[in-house]
């Protein structure tokens, strides 16, 4: 894969997202898939830490049979996830997109949509969760399964990153969820991103996105990493993430780089 072509880079700048086809394949994809399943199996023996529907955190639609299981910071659970974050082809593409070779990790997480009862998610921006001064924050989403509308693929609103931060319509009390006006930006008018296992979707944290429910008999497994310019800084308060600021490529010349992470030690 390597560097993006001029055509690919223009597509990203125009649309706010791009699909890197079959970026991960062969034994690397097999190992990631195997350890992903092992991790969720271990977690589910007790309790998965979060889910979109009916979680302890949100108390949202707790009587719904639809859910999405989530686990954060996978690089702390198995080394294979950390190795993936250093994939040169992946970092080449991110470097082209954010315009710097100095790439840092913000956090990782996995979302598993179970067959026949995987919940949808409203259209939203990631910006409200962790705004940064230069808006360099970029989502990198690896799909471990083929994904289509039936099993809950990603939907994007092309070009929406150019709108800047949008008004937050998410519930305010006792919830950390954020989303935009669903009447103005309905998922039905968004673009479904059709994917194969091993594809990686890269998009700006300003790009509107959401997902459809999984009504198929197939799972939908994804592994997301948020990456940013190592010299970008938080624009407001945010909950600290273990590993935030972990340098994946380049150098961090800011001698105060560790200050923001002291509370995470």
Which domains are assigned to the chain? 6-57+65-235 (2.60.120.620)
* Ordered per-residue pLDDT tens for the chain, 265 residues: 568 999 999 999 999 999 999 999 999 999 999 999 999 988 876 554 544 343 434 334 445 677 888 899 999 999 999 999 999 999 999 999 999 999 999 999 999 999 988 999 999 999 999 999 999 999 999 999 999 999 999 999 999 999 999 988 876 655 677 889 999 999 999 999 999 999 999 999 999 999 999 999 999 999 999 999 999 999 976 777 788 999 999 999 875 554 444 444 3
Cross-strand partners of 204: 138
pTM of the model as a whole: 0.89
Residue 242 has a pLDDT of 81
- Transcribe 103-160 into DSSP letters: EEEEEEEEEEE-TT-BPPEEEE-SGGGS-BTT---EEEEEESS-B-TTBT-EEE-TTG
pLDDT of residue 264: 41
Residue 138 burial class via C-beta count within 10 angstroms: exposed 0-12, middle 13-18, buried 19 and up: buried
SS3 202: strand
The answer to whether residues 208 and 180 touch, using CB atoms and an 8 Å cutoff, is yes
């Amino acid at each position: 894969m390597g560097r993006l072509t001029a055509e690919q880079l223009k597509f990203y700048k125009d649309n706010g997202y791009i699909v890197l086809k079959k970026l991960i394949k062969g034994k690397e994809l097999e190992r990631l898939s195997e350890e992903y399943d092992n991790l969720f199996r271990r977690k589910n023996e007790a309790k998965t830490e979060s889910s979109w529907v009916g979680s302890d955190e949100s108390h949202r639609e707790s009587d719904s049979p639809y859910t999405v299981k989530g686990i954060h910071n996978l690089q702390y659970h198995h080394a294979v996830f950390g190795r993936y974050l250093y994939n040169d082809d992946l970092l080449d593409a991110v470097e082209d997109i954010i315009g710097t070779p100095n790439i840092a990790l913000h956090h990782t997480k996995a979302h598993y949509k179970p067959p026949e009862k995987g919940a949808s998610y409203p259209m939203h921006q990631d910006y409200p969760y962790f705004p940064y001064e230069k808006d360099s924050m970029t989502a990198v989403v690896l799909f471990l399964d083929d994904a289509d509308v039936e099993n809950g693929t990603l939907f994007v609103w092309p070009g929406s990153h150019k709108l800047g931060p949008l008004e937050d319509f998410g519930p305010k009390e006792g919830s950390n969820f954020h989303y935009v006006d669903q009447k103005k930006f309905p998922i039905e008018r968004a673009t479904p991103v059709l994917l194969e296992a091993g594809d990686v979707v890269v998009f700006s944290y300003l790009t509107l996105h959401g997902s459809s429910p999984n009504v198929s008999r197939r799972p939908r497994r994804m592994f997301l990493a948020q990456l940013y310019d190592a010299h970008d800084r938080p624009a407001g308060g945010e909950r600290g993430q273990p590993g935030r600021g972990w340098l994946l490529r380049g150098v961090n010349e800011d001698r105060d780089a560790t200050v923001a992470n002291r509370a995470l030690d």
